[in-house]
Amino acid sequence: MTVRASDSQCEIRGVRMSAGLRERLSKLARVTHDEGVAQPIVRSGVGNFSYRAAILCGGIDQHVSHSIFTVKQRSFEIAVYRQLVAPSMDFKLSHAVSTALLAWLLLKIYRLVYNIFLHPLRRYPGPLCAAATTWWKTYIEVYTQQSMTDVLEYLHARYGDVVRTGPNELHFSNPAAYNDIYNSSARWDKEESLYCCFGEDRSSFGFLTYNEAKQRKDVLQPLFSRRAITNMQGLIREKIDHLASVLTARDATGKSSDLFFAFRCFTMDTITAFCFAKSIDAMDAPEFKAPIVEAMEAANPTFVLFKHFALFRKLIFSLPPSLAMKFSPETAGLTQLQVILGQQVKEVYTNYESLSEAPHPIIYSRLLDPAAQNGHRVPVPGSLYEEGQALMFAGTDTVGNTLMVGFFHILDQPALQVRLREEVRRAWPELSQPPDFQTLEKLPLLTAAIKEALRMASGVTTPLPRIVPPSGATIGKHAVPPGTIVGMSSIFVHYSAEIFPEPDNFDIERWLGKGVQSLDQWLIAFSKGPRSCLGINLAWCELYLAFATMLRKFDMKLDGTTRKDLVWRDTFLPYFYGKHLTAWCTPIAA
């Protein structure tokens, strides 16, 4: 089709023009119609006019025509546009949109019907909505903001030991099933939508496959072995002593302390020194409100949002930090954390040599060492950053939560605090000569208290989702087809009344006495199998040194925190949203 237009005339060739259209145009302008001419004349029209006329004539018609309009351009243009072009454009657009919507809707309906009636998991019990669509989980976690672990408890009480929690997902509650999923021979992939939400896809924690994770963990493992951690316990001793001195100074000014943040600052300073040979000095922040610790705390619920809305996550991660924080204040904590951490990683990258001056092995020194890579390349900067973020999260909140939960219960039972202190004092008579990690490990009451704290804090509370391999699997005596997402939250083991009677009570006696060693198999805070915790030795060492030091150096009393304040919501780690554990920490003179 061609259009030629001037101030007074518009010529259109090679278009299809119906009788109806011709009649309507005639009312607007004088139209000359010549059926015989089909040769196109290519000349440009006058701006919008020719464009609109072109749309007008291209849209609706039957016959090939050549029409000449004699027009008063402006009024013709407006009239044609209003009466013919706009409606026809609307029609075409709305037609395309509604067709696409209909196709999408049909596809979704087909998917729902398939998920409910034809899916290989159709015989597994669970809510209909969960079987039909993953949006059910989004509704629970994002819209109602319930803790998925609470919902799972309810579902298992109603449906039994296996529940379908998504179209392609099963959750198990029988403690025996835990070992079927998480054991040394189960090299199953991690599930993408959860593990990618942290933005740590290229880290020991975030790699989805066993092989990728193993390659990275093999590089890091020598630094996390029991021997390596025992050798570097001086670093942890230095950090916990520093925390004790800050708490002492606070007490001297008559202040109680936010131990929730204080413990996180201690673990943060420890892991940053271990990673970067440089502490972030979180413990020296006023009121222990170190920006990185606060940012980490605020980041927890963000991951739930990112898990359900991957596009939103990609958008936030792609924006410059200042824009991301403005655009989405609710995820600003994570962005802030990434900025702080990014600077730290960049510094290490540019001052690599300084790492060798540290008195203990440094994680980044090893990550950047070509000789440590077992024939592979040194990780790219993005992967180095992500490893740093993974280690910060893995090493800070987990140990911090265990200390916080443990100390709440110990302070809630003053007689227990005295009993534990007496045991520690026997091993640590001279305040200025603290015993080492190996000595503390032998103290039965202290060990029982730490185990009980690990049990009740539960480490990572989310069911750790894995993909059943092509061979399929039997989990808790149920045959599970290949490709199914399976998981089990640690709380179904740690709060099982059959294994741990009266599980809501902090009772160190359950770990003491003869024949209780077998109970250790049910302490699964660090998970089991090839994707279990890389930092387990570091965590135990921090816990022993911190529990012993706090008990030996302070007489502690709760400052208004009650059991109700220990409420949490599952955001991968438990997100404690009650009043922080606050206590008076009075130094013990000798």
Which residues are annotated as part of the binding site for heme? 533
HSE-up of residue 383 (Cα within 13 Å, Cβ side): 13
Task: Based on the shown chain and the rule CB under 6 A, indicate whether residue 181 belongs to the binding site for ligand HEM.
Answer: no
Judged by beta carbon, residue 50 or residue 490, the one nearer ligand HEM is 490
Of positions 411, 460, 467, 550, contacts ligand HEM by CB under 6 A: 460
Of positions 46, 527, 580, 587, contacts ligand HEM by CB under 6 A: 527
Tell me which stretch binds ligand HEM (CB under 6 A): 284-292, 311-319, 392-400, 435-443.
392-400
Task: Based on the shown chain and the rule CB under 6 A, indicate whether residue 533 belongs to the binding site for ligand HEM.
Answer: yes
Helix (H, G, I), strand (E, B) or coil at 473: strand
Write the CB contacts of 157 (distance below 8 Å, at least 6 apart in sequence).
Answer: none
167, 131 Cβ separation under 8 angstroms: yes
Task: Based on the shown chain and the rule CB under 6 A, indicate whether residue 205 belongs to the binding site for ligand HEM.
Answer: yes
152, 127 Cβ separation under 8 angstroms: no
Distances (CA, A) of 122 to 267, 287, 543: 45, 53, 45
What is the rounded CA–CA span in Å between residue 326 and residue 319? 10
Task: Based on the shown chain and the rule CB under 6 A, indicate whether residue 390 belongs to the binding site for ligand HEM.
Answer: yes
Task: Based on the shown chain and the rule CB under 6 A, indicate whether residue 539 belongs to the binding site for ligand HEM.
Answer: yes
Judged by beta carbon, residue 76 or residue 182, the one nearer ligand HEM is 182
Total Cβ atoms within 10 A of residue 413: 15
What is the closest distance, in whole angstroms, from the C-beta atom of residue 122 to ligand HEM in the complex? 28
What is the rounded CA–CA span in Å between residue 93 and residue 464? 45
- The helix-helix angle for 291-308 and 381-412 (nearest 10°) equals 110
What is the rounded CA–CA span in Å between residue 298 and residue 292? 10
Task: Based on the shown chain and the rule CB under 6 A, indicate whether residue 279 belongs to the binding site for ligand HEM.
Answer: no
Task: Based on the shown chain and the rule CB under 6 A, indicate whether residue 149 belongs to the binding site for ligand HEM.
Answer: no
Distances (CA, A) of 344 to 98, 349, 353, 384, 395: 51, 9, 15, 11, 16
Place of tokens 């949109």: 97
Structure token digits, residue 441:
């490990």
Of positions 149, 174, 179, 204, contacts ligand HEM by CB under 6 A: 204
What is the closest distance, in whole angstroms, from the C-beta atom of residue 460 to ligand HEM in the complex? 4
4, 10 Cβ separation under 8 angstroms: yes
Task: Based on the shown chain and the rule CB under 6 A, indicate whether residue 400 belongs to the binding site for ligand HEM.
Answer: no
Task: Based on the shown chain and the rule CB under 6 A, indicate whether residue 405 belongs to the binding site for ligand HEM.
Answer: no
Of positions 13, 66, 308, 531, contacts ligand HEM by CB under 6 A: 531
What is the closest distance, in whole angstroms, from the C-beta atom of residue 264 to ligand HEM in the complex? 12
Judged by beta carbon, residue 204 or residue 571, the one nearer ligand HEM is 204
Of positions 5, 493, 525, 551, contacts ligand HEM by CB under 6 A: 525
Task: Based on the shown chain and the rule CB under 6 A, indicate whether residue 273 belongs to the binding site for ligand HEM.
Answer: no
Task: Based on the shown chain and the rule CB under 6 A, indicate whether residue 395 belongs to the binding site for ligand HEM.
Answer: yes
Judged by beta carbon, residue 52 or residue 239, the one nearer ligand HEM is 239
What is the rounded CA–CA span in Å between residue 343 and residue 478? 49
What is the closest distance, in whole angstroms, from the C-beta atom of residue 409 to ligand HEM in the complex? 16
Amino acid at 320: P
Structure token digits, residue 220:
């890091």
Amino acid at 567: V
Binders of ligand HEM in range 215-244 (CB under 6 A): 217
The DSSP call for residue 191 is P
Judged by beta carbon, residue 86 or residue 499, the one nearer ligand HEM is 499
Task: Based on the shown chain and the rule CB under 6 A, indicate whether residue 173 belongs to the binding site for ligand HEM.
Answer: no
What is the rounded CA–CA span in Å between residue 482 and residue 120? 10
Judged by beta carbon, residue 265 or residue 271, the one nearer ligand HEM is 271
Please write down the long-range contacts of 495-503, taking CB distance under 8 Å and 24 or more positions apart: 495/458, 496/175, 496/522, 498/175, 499/175, 500/455
Task: Based on the shown chain and the rule CB under 6 A, indicate whether residue 581 belongs to the binding site for ligand HEM.
Answer: no
Tell me which stretch binds ligand HEM (CB under 6 A): 286-294, 346-354, 432-440, 528-536.
528-536
Write the CB contacts of 7 (distance below 8 Å, at least 6 apart in sequence).
Answer: 46, 73
The separation between the first and the last C-alpha atoms of the chain, rounded to the nearest angstrom, is 99
Judged by beta carbon, residue 131 or residue 265, the one nearer ligand HEM is 265
Judged by beta carbon, residue 25 or residue 290, the one nearer ligand HEM is 290
What is the closest distance, in whole angstroms, from the C-beta atom of residue 259 to ligand HEM in the complex? 16
Of positions 55, 240, 538, 551, contacts ligand HEM by CB under 6 A: 538
Of positions 213, 268, 282, 424, contacts ligand HEM by CB under 6 A: 213
Structure token digits, residue 28:
């607007």
Cα angle: 378, vertex 296, 530; to 5 degrees: 50
Tell me which stretch binds ligand HEM (CB under 6 A): 303-311, 315-323, 458-466, 553-561.
458-466
Of positions 324, 391, 548, 585, contacts ligand HEM by CB under 6 A: 391
What is the closest distance, in whole angstroms, from the C-beta atom of residue 487 to ligand HEM in the complex? 9
Of positions 534, 550, 551, 581, contacts ligand HEM by CB under 6 A: 534
Structure token digits, residue 568:
């949490």
Write the CB contacts of 533 (distance below 8 Å, at least 6 apart in sequence).
Answer: 394, 459, 526, 527, 539
Residue numbers of the site for ligand HEM (CB under 6 A)?
Answer: 204-205, 213, 217, 271, 390-391, 394-395, 398-399, 402, 459-460, 464, 525-527, 531-535, 538-539
